[in-house]
Amino acid sequence: MEEWAFPTRYDQDYLPDPDSPYWFPVRETMDPAERDAAVLVRLREVMEYAYANSTFYKDKWDGAGLKPADITSFEAFEQVPVVTKAEMRESQANHPPFGDYTCVDRSEIHHIHGTSGTTGAPTAFALGRRDWEVIADNQARILWGMGVRPGDTVFVAALFSLYLGSWGAMTAAERLRCNVLPFGAGAHGMTARAVNWLARIKPAAFYATPSYALRLAEVAEKEKIDPREFGLKVMFFSGEPGASVPSVRKAIEDSFGATVIDCGTMAEMTPFMSASATAGTPDGMLLWQDIVWHEVCDPDTFRTVPYGSEGTPVYTHLERTSQPMIRLASNDLTRWVLEDNPCGRTYPKLPDGVYGRIDDMIHIRGENVYPTEVDNYLRTVENYGGEHQIIVRRTGSMDEMIVRAETTLPEGQRSDFEQNTGSGLQSFLGVRVTFESVDADTLERAEHKSRRVVDERTHR
């Protein structure tokens, strides 16, 4: 296996053969059982390292009665208790600012990022200098898999602040010897400026959240610029479901005429692109198991579910030394499979991407609804105005769901639209829905991750 060592240090001058679709042909196409055997040894090494360098992991595993040396099988590894975000917040509160799961000295920390929510205590992410280099290398390798090449211009249209998505995309593109346009997002008037820069620079690749790409397409239309004129080859997305939601994906492909690639796990798990599609397998996300070990688990027992089944992703770093995450529970939902991938990589795959967070699932009269299903349906409806809200209300002991969607139709001509879309949505979701329409361009557009659910229930 190419450059397989822990702690990891990649050759910073390495670039693959220009004709190779793979950065590391052996690691990417090897027999999965052989790869898994190497990963198992690595899991033990990472655990030995974390046990020796962090009181968090030592106390957690001592409490569970296990030692890194016990991890001689994946069955044993699945008994390692998961790490939750609540534990990380508690650790940072008790051991400020980075928590006692940080395994390096403060002088080794190269970047500090954090959760970007405005409510609740933020969590700080401390990324070591060596880790930053390895992250860049890992993600350059994944960008190579997406078809991005040295010399390509990569336009990064995501918030440059605490959010790791933008910085991760930038550092990866730099390592790949691309030219990077760290445009950012979120400032007043920036989307119209992005449209003009895209039209002028004509980058090969583009990174953002899927919501923001659709916003950009709307603004381009207002500016009378066809997004296809940007000449984009690859658009890669992370941060929220969308790139694997069929109608959202199609809307982006149709607007921009580029290949859409879904990627992304969690900021704590950076290199977060370790789940990513490739140019040759553009649908779903492959799990690059030699970079991060991805398990899809039963959300109650945290044991892996068989391929073909649904569960929650649990992630383990294989190359991080600063804040290694060992069995981090994501609280997301997905389904995984292991089958032949057209690109030749032998990784398992999430064929439908990550559908959403367990907490965001709406329970209506015994049925579960994902907000992304509403999005998926509405984007297929003629005269849909491009944005919607989902309001969840409790009346008595029942939850009620109201979908408020924009339409391009003028008032007075909406009754068929409302009736047909309401009943279509109801049969698509299999739950009762109250449907309302509003004028196009009246609901707020996301500059980052969309928040379409307005939960009016006081408790769940």
Residues making contact with ligand 8LH (CB under 6 A): 164-165, 238-241, 262-264, 266-267, 272, 330, 332, 353-354, 357
Min dist CB 205 to ligand 8LH, Å, is 16
Min dist CB 329 to ligand 8LH, Å, is 10
Find, among 182, 188, 256, 193, the residue nearest to 219 by Cα.
193
Min dist CB 73 to ligand 8LH, Å, is 28
Min dist CB 40 to ligand 8LH, Å, is 25
Whose Cβ is closer to ligand 8LH: residue 44's or residue 349's?
Answer: 349
Whose Cβ is closer to ligand 8LH: residue 88's or residue 220's?
Answer: 88
Min dist CB 238 to ligand 8LH, Å, is 3
Whose Cβ is closer to ligand 8LH: residue 214's or residue 440's?
Answer: 214
Min dist CB 354 to ligand 8LH, Å, is 4
Report the distance separating Cα 226 and Cα 230, nearest Å: 8
Strand pairing report for 205-208 and 234-237: parallel
Min dist CB 165 to ligand 8LH, Å, is 4
Min dist CB 160 to ligand 8LH, Å, is 13
Whose Cβ is closer to ligand 8LH: residue 138's or residue 330's?
Answer: 330
Q: Closest CB to ligand 8LH belongs to which residue?
A: 264
Whose Cβ is closer to ligand 8LH: residue 273's or residue 433's?
Answer: 273
